[in-house]
Structure 1
Amino acid sequence: MSLFRKKNIAELIRGTEKSGLRKSLGATDLVLLGIGCIIGTGIFVLTGVAAAKYAGPGIMLSFVLSGLACAFAALAYSELSAMVPVTGSAYTFAYVSMGEIVAFAVGWALVCEYTIGSAAVAAGWSGYMVGLLRSAGIDLPAAWTAVPADGGILNVPAVIITTFLTYLLILGTRESAALNKILVFIKLGCIAFFLFIATPHVDPLNWQPFLPFGWGGVATGAAIVFFAYIGFDTVSTAAEECKNPNRDIPIGIVGSLIICTVLYIAVAAVLTGIVPYSSLNTSEPVAYALRAIGMNFGSALVALGAICGITTVLLVFMYGQTRVFLAMARDGMIPQNLVKIHPKYNTPHVITMIAGTVVAILSGLLPINIIAELCNMGTLFAFMLVSAGVWVLRRTQPDMPRPFRCPAVNVVVPLAILLCGYLIANLPVETRMFFGAWYIIGMCVYFAYSRKHSTLAAKSADSSRQPPFDTQ
């Protein structure tokens, strides 16, 4: 059996007609879905950390560098998402362009990214919520807000938010999208409020020196804050639930990326302009900066925006995670009984409950920090392969309908691959080693189970049992 057997795009699209997933999302929903995941932990936490430790005021250039890498990858994603409007994101794209073993490797990387990322974000949400309640005079017992390694019993707030969002995702994407819209508008309002009240306090002297750690610091900062951009690719996992995926998916991907890039650069500029960059290495840099200039009320509002922001990040992370599992289970990469669609809510409830339980356990019991580097590694790896997939399909299936075509593909694709590879090279060595170990485990799973049980393997077995000619 070939390791590089590919799925037929036409058959794949026909198969989605029987999936049972409700088509309820439009272009606006997808833009907000992307913003919901992109704006969160990155803008409220990583901006300050990366500025203080790696880039200084040059963090603005770090966001530009990461944004460029994402922009080129986004154009590749848009072509494939419109061409193959099927759930599964980079995993599905790799399956149709480069074959089964590459697709499994991408899917395995996405599982790592979404699961660890969801658990880390849930723990971060708990920290913000506990801090906000404490500032309001409500002290929750440490035993029920800390993990065992930190002297607690269970991080209950992290478990509660994960359980609630799992239930919401089971109810359906329309209900989840409705909550996402509300929270996105709240956090965008808080960010606009921050820019409005903080901009007059910018002191250009705080931007000197602009590159205290040199260009190397900017590059390392870009590799770290890349976590802040994770989310636009999640839009492509909603392809099967779009009313008009050929038009709406490209709008959702490119639109959310552009809006968030502009906001990131603006916040980074104001943040490093109102306080010295060296003071921003805190878990709440935006709120801290406002307190430092005497705006305590504004700091509380921004903290509320941070909670809303992190909630939407967790919601979209968990949504993307379940859709990748759905695609892999449908293909036989993992047991197919996990693909069950709820008869009433038309959602993959079994996968959603399993994924939500795992995330709740991890966030409630383990001392997980924001593992941005690991999430970045999986995402950058997927971006490189998706970009290469556009090139492959342009040559192997040039006549396939492409509702959206990546412009200047011979320039955009190489730049996407090179920039993503450059950011990977600037990640810590330990991160690359951990990802390598995770990849080896995945290959063991593939050769022990997935290769034999995939739907393409079953088709190959059926065709081999057919007589080579009619004996009648």
Structure 2
Amino acid sequence: MSNLFAKKDVNKLLEENAAKESTKTLGLFDVILMGVGATIGTGVLVIAGLVAARDAGPSVSISFVISAVACILVALCYAEFGSAIPSSGGAYTYIYVSLGKFVAHLIGWSIVGCYTVSLASVAGGWSSYVNNMLTEFGIRLPESFTAIPSDGGIINLPAVFIVLCMSFLLTRGVKESKKINNLMVLIKIGIVLLFVAVGVFFIHTNNWHPFTPFGVKGIFAGAASVFFAYNGFDAISTSAEEVKNPQRNLPLGILIALSVCAVIYVVIALVLTGMVSYKELNVGDALSYALNSVGQEWAALIVSIGAVIGIMAVVFAYLFVVPRILMSMSHDGLLPSLFAKVNRKNSEPVISTWLVGALGAVVAGFVDLKQLADLANMLAIVTFAAVSFSILALRKTQPNLKRGFKVPFVPFIPIIAILCCIFLMFNLSMKTWMYSIGWMLIGVFIYVGYGRNKKSV
């Protein structure tokens, strides 16, 4: 039982991190762009319109604010951990240090599931935008190779293609790939700004009436749904060992990236629901649809092209995270040593990257992702709640640990963050709860069957 909750030694972990010869290649600007790139994607390009149509109406902007508040509270906890324990394991390592081995294994397993499912679903969204863009140019791909079997196709080949391409890019090394990622993120921000700059002149305030057609219940239901739009900001914490001056740049990067994303989401939601009636936004390409509706076809085409490029940054960020979690768990003996192997030339976890990429490609190409997206949501919320609770534990067990940033008003901020997470969890369906419990049980079986008595390598 004592081994079940054995904690990782903080001082030993910091000494090991200091002794590593990993190259520090990521500055504050790179960290912010990685966070923005991981966060902004299907949330602003797809989810905003769907939630407006189905749950909240124009008040989806308030839904984004509610979710942002919950995420910012959690982000404060991530920022303290990142400044005190700059480790590539992210939330997994934070919880290992504060709550022990078994809980860390479950959270690591939760993160792996969350991001693998997320990258597959994002790849599916990318495929839709590619098809729409090609259609504008008079090119129609065979439906057999652009739809999953349950939708009448054979395989969603574009989704498979983008996952494998991003996997290859990451195996070339962070130093080489970060420049391409930064460019993709800047393009994505550019199309968002273009949409706002053009769309603001076509806002009709009567589209905002009634502002809350589904009532307060709809606003909170919308908040639970758009929470998925903020998944990804925690990806920054997994890059800690490759960040220059992590005690400063990690907390700043996390908070700035999340704040930028929250502002963008609210502005997009207001402009989008002001351009067209929320009833018309039950479409997968809401931004392009709205621009076409007001006669701005040229802008709609640019947004579609930019979305194709920009969403690739989200796939990149998710593929960056999962292999590093697997590598950390492998180092700790919770997974086979295969996952800890890195390329001698660029220190990248090549095997783990290709394994995650292959799994993500299969899921994106063949599986219906609607329910799996909710699974990713639940697993992310569980992780965020655990990190928030871990701050309370770490403050008690490691009061003298050097921290570049401290969560203010402890214990109130972490407790409020936990309560927000619980509230959002209970706004998800019972089926999602069952899938989540099933995934966690698989993690328990892996721990009992392999990782329980293994030692760190």
TM-score by length of 1: 0.94
The answer on whether the counterparts of 1:124 and 1:370 sit within 8 Å (CA) in structure 2 is no
Distance in 2 separating the partners of 1:140 and 1:20? 47
Residue by residue over 1:25-58, the C-alpha shift from the partner in whole angstroms, topping out at 9 and shown as x without a partner, is: 0111010000001110000000001111001111
Partner of 1:181: 182
- Cα offset for 1:414? 1.0
**Secondary structure at the counterpart of residue 25 of structure 1:** coil
Partner of 1:375: 376
Instruction: Map 1:225-244 onto structure 2 (within 5 A).
Output: 225-244=226-245
Partner of 2:359: 358
Q: 14-23 or 24-33: which moved more?
A: 14-23
Residue by residue over 1:292-337, the C-alpha shift from the partner in whole angstroms, topping out at 9 and shown as x without a partner, is: 1111111111112221231111110111111111111111111013
Instruction: Map 1:253-264 onto structure 2 (within 5 A).
Output: 253-264=254-265
- Cα offset for 1:366? 2.3
Partner of 1:199: 200
Q: 21-30 or 64-73: which moved more?
A: 21-30
Distance in 2 separating the partners of 1:18 and 1:328? 19
Partner of 1:465: none
The answer on whether the counterparts of 2:371 and 2:432 sit within 8 Å (CA) in structure 1 is no
Residue by residue over 1:254-302, the C-alpha shift from the partner in whole angstroms, topping out at 9 and shown as x without a partner, is: 0100111111000000111111111101011111111111111111111
The answer on whether the counterparts of 1:147 and 1:366 sit within 8 Å (CA) in structure 2 is yes
Instruction: Map 1:114-263 onto structure 2 (within 5 A).
Output: 114-263=115-264
Distance in 1 separating the partners of 2:419 and 2:337? 37
**Secondary structure at the counterpart of residue 229 of structure 2:** helix
Distance in 1 separating the partners of 2:392 and 2:306? 40
The answer on whether the counterparts of 1:42 and 1:227 sit within 8 Å (CA) in structure 2 is yes
Partner of 1:74: 75
- Cα offset for 1:148? 2.8
Distance in 1 separating the partners of 2:82 and 2:361? 31
Amino acid at match of 2:265: Y
Amino acid at match of 2:348: T
CA distance 1:370–1:258, change in 2 (3 Å): farther
The answer on whether the counterparts of 2:132 and 2:304 sit within 8 Å (CA) in structure 1 is no
- Cα offset for 1:368? 2.7
Residue by residue over 1:164-212, the C-alpha shift from the partner in whole angstroms, topping out at 9 and shown as x without a partner, is: 1101111111222111111111111111111111112111111111111
The answer on whether the counterparts of 1:117 and 1:370 sit within 8 Å (CA) in structure 2 is no
**Secondary structure at the counterpart of residue 294 of structure 1:** coil
Partner of 1:336: 337
Residue by residue over 1:53-97, the C-alpha shift from the partner in whole angstroms, topping out at 9 and shown as x without a partner, is: 001111011001000001100000000011010011111110000
The answer on whether the counterparts of 2:126 and 2:308 sit within 8 Å (CA) in structure 1 is yes
Distance in 2 separating the partners of 1:376 and 1:18? 36
Partner of 1:469: none
The answer on whether the counterparts of 1:22 and 1:241 sit within 8 Å (CA) in structure 2 is yes
Residue by residue over 1:213-232, the C-alpha shift from the partner in whole angstroms, topping out at 9 and shown as x without a partner, is: 11111111111101111111
Partner of 2:6: 5
- Cα offset for 1:243? 1.5
Distance in 2 separating the partners of 1:94 and 1:226? 22
- Cα offset for 1:341? 1.3
- Cα offset for 1:137? 1.1
Partner of 2:448: 447
The answer on whether the counterparts of 1:41 and 1:121 sit within 8 Å (CA) in structure 2 is yes
Distance in 2 separating the partners of 1:332 and 1:23? 26
Distance in 2 separating the partners of 1:144 and 1:18? 49
Distance in 2 separating the partners of 1:361 and 1:374? 17
The answer on whether the counterparts of 2:323 and 2:339 sit within 8 Å (CA) in structure 1 is no
Partner of 2:107: 106
Distance in 2 separating the partners of 1:428 and 1:79? 32
Amino acid at match of 1:326: M
Partner of 1:402: 403
Distance in 1 separating the partners of 2:139 and 2:72? 43
Instruction: Map 1:39-58 onto structure 2 (within 5 A).
Output: 39-58=40-59
- Aligned length, in residue pairs: 456
Distance in 2 separating the partners of 1:454 and 1:125? 41
**Secondary structure at the counterpart of residue 406 of structure 1:** coil
- Cα offset for 1:367? 3.0
Distance in 2 separating the partners of 1:339 and 1:102? 20
- Cα offset for 1:370? 7.6
- Cα offset for 1:17? 4.1
Task: Say which one has the larger Rg.
Answer: 1
Partner of 2:433: 432
Q: 147-156 or 229-238: which moved more?
A: 147-156
Report sequence identity in percent. Answer: 40
**Secondary structure at the counterpart of residue 404 of structure 2:** coil
Distance in 2 separating the partners of 1:435 and 1:424? 11
- Cα offset for 1:19? 4.7
**Secondary structure at the counterpart of residue 303 of structure 1:** helix
Unaligned runs of 5+ in 2: none
Distance in 1 separating the partners of 2:371 and 2:292? 24
Distance in 2 separating the partners of 1:366 and 1:76? 35
Unaligned runs of 5+ in 1: 459-472
CA distance 1:180–1:326, change in 2 (3 Å): same
The answer on whether the counterparts of 1:119 and 1:363 sit within 8 Å (CA) in structure 2 is yes
Instruction: Map 1:265-276 onto structure 2 (within 5 A).
Output: 265-276=266-277
Partner of 2:86: 85
Partner of 2:65: 64
CA distance 1:20–1:358, change in 2 (3 Å): farther
- Cα offset for 1:20? 4.8
CA distance 1:11–1:350, change in 2 (3 Å): same
The answer on whether the counterparts of 2:160 and 2:361 sit within 8 Å (CA) in structure 1 is yes
The answer on whether the counterparts of 1:91 and 1:104 sit within 8 Å (CA) in structure 2 is yes
CA distance 1:282–1:370, change in 2 (3 Å): farther
